[in-house]
Structure 1
């Protein structure tokens, strides 16, 4: 079946979300390993304080897709090149991490554990409320006595991996090449707006929505911008291992623990990718309303890009059900 036919049947849930006012706008894109692809756009890129239509060229804040498009492949590539050992502790690259207590658990966590969210860090922490100096906040992350809990999905894992990348490259995240078709900001006139942010006192558009990433002025967990074309290009490169090392792709598909691979998530009951994915599927979502899923058995990937937090996150956008409905229709064969 062609990518266009797949998109035609899977577009209806997004169309309904726009029609009922739950999400301002969005783009659905499908790509096959052979290069066949299709995209469709609907709704508005911005509604507050003025309306702008969504276009295929609209730039999206990719939020946590940064973890799997930027940070994960770079960490794995460094391991493949022998620059780091995934099973070594982070202190092999960040020796000053929790340096005043050499026996604590933080100094024992490894790169692999961070990639798979297998650490005791808290799931959410408002780093941005501790100041606005990015160097001070990096020091805070490295020296704060973190409460240990059960292993959960935590941005802190990738904030630390981002600091490791900065140490290894000698460049801050925002000084590093984000990859072809990606950027660390976008022209506000051609970007999907996110939230009317009480902290910044403005509608956020073209700059990162995530408060911690904004305060850190670049991080490994968020901050990447891209278009539907750049996201599908990246997905196709993984499906075909072209421009990406097969070893990197293999580790992205390899389970670390629970339902996590190196960076990505695997299918489970109630998964964002729906119930009809093959077991050879990986996926990831982002808070702003984005997501990317790749089914290696079917040789197909799809991305759903929305601005569901515009103008506020404090609204039931139905994004969780929308993602599953789209995934089920993409894979309804």
Structure 2
């Protein structure tokens, strides 16, 4: 579009916040992108895609390790599409596709977990597990995850839920996730010269750039919880597809908007107190963040979507980047009207 979108003033205020964060040395760089339901679009970059061991400027077409945006853009979408096609029953246990899950204990609680519970993070799996510390044999690690007696706890946001959903997709297709078509504008790796750098990894002994940052995803050679790469435009194109699907009454998008708990829908987050999408978000907004410094929010009520992509963990995660505050402030700008 050649006309200035109506949201342009909000975009400018939000970009000023990103620019200020970069100027203060909180994050190396970032890209902000916004679209509306009518096709208006603005994308702008600031700062550096890489600072260590050399500097490269951030560009609007820089590729990002999207981290947990993989959960919603890739895995959730495919699980819900299979449910729409009748291939998966969301309320059936994962054992319908993963019969070997805790196969030596028929009464194990893990064997009762359903696809829907995994999508909504309503399972007893732990929040985090350093699976990569058990080795680099991807097949052996898959067997370990399936046979491990997991410590049962209260429902929390857990990567294990989406690792298992990824295993289910692999079983159906008969191939690894990295062999899947990731969708238009996405990939499972990126050209290091065109990608935002992430961490100087302490166990891979190099600055990661164009290869997945998530330790468990790397060890598994691809997984359902992380590993997707994309640009701001590809993320916005995905959001545009959600707007179109919502208009057309697509069942997949409807489920993405359907609450499963106070904080979650099928795969996505919904507004709650202090959520990353800002305090002013409409009830019709869904969103998700990624550990590397990424995020996408889609406001169906107001027909506006925005993505904030940063390399906030470059060169280390052990630094207060202020990303939580920045995300909320950007969200408030987008929702301020």
TM-score bracket for this pair, using the shorter chain length: over 0.9
Question: 1:238 touches 1:244 (CA, 8 Å); kept in 2?
Answer: no
2:129 counterpart residue number: 125
- Partners of 2:27 and 2:248 in 1: CA distance: 34
- Partners of 2:172 and 2:248 in 1: CA distance: 20
Q: Secondary structure at the match of 1:204?
A: strand
Q: Deviations over 1:173-202 (max 9, x none)?
A: 000000000000000001000000010000
1:95 counterpart residue number: 99
Question: 2:199 touches 2:208 (CA, 8 Å); kept in 1?
Answer: yes
- Further displaced range: 154-163 or 7-16: 7-16
1:63 counterpart residue number: 67
1:282 counterpart residue number: 286
**Alpha-carbon deviation of 1:243?**
11
Question: 2:35 touches 2:240 (CA, 8 Å); kept in 1?
Answer: yes
1:212 counterpart residue number: 216
Q: Deviations over 1:247-270 (max 9, x none)?
A: 000000001123110000000110
- Partners of 1:55 and 1:43 in 2: CA distance: 9
2:176 counterpart residue number: 172
**Alpha-carbon deviation of 1:330?**
1.1
Determine whether 1:295 maps to 2:299. Answer: yes
- Partners of 2:57 and 2:249 in 1: CA distance: 38
Shift of the 235–244 alpha-carbon distance from structure 1 to 2, 3 Å rule, reads: farther
Structure 1: gaps of 5 or more residues: none
**Alpha-carbon deviation of 1:171?**
1.4
Question: 1:6 touches 1:30 (CA, 8 Å); kept in 2?
Answer: no
- Partners of 1:119 and 1:140 in 2: CA distance: 19
- Partners of 1:33 and 1:277 in 2: CA distance: 16
Structure 2: gaps of 5 or more residues: none
Candidates 318, 329, 334, aligned match of 1:314: 318
2:155 counterpart residue number: 151
Q: Deviations over 1:187-236 (max 9, x none)?
A: 00010000000100000000000000000000000000000010000011
Question: 2:246 touches 2:253 (CA, 8 Å); kept in 1?
Answer: no
Q: Secondary structure at the match of 1:195?
A: strand
Question: 1:155 touches 1:221 (CA, 8 Å); kept in 2?
Answer: yes
Q: Secondary structure at the match of 2:53?
A: coil
- Partners of 1:180 and 1:124 in 2: CA distance: 30
Question: 2:246 touches 2:254 (CA, 8 Å); kept in 1?
Answer: no
Aligned length: 333
1:240 counterpart residue number: 244
For the aligned residue pairs, the C-alpha RMSD in angstroms reads 1.2
Candidates 212, 215, 221, aligned match of 2:225: 221
Q: Secondary structure at the match of 1:241?
A: helix
**Alpha-carbon deviation of 1:6?**
2.5
For normalisation by structure 1, the TM-score amounts to 0.98
Shift of the 242–264 alpha-carbon distance from structure 1 to 2, 3 Å rule, reads: closer
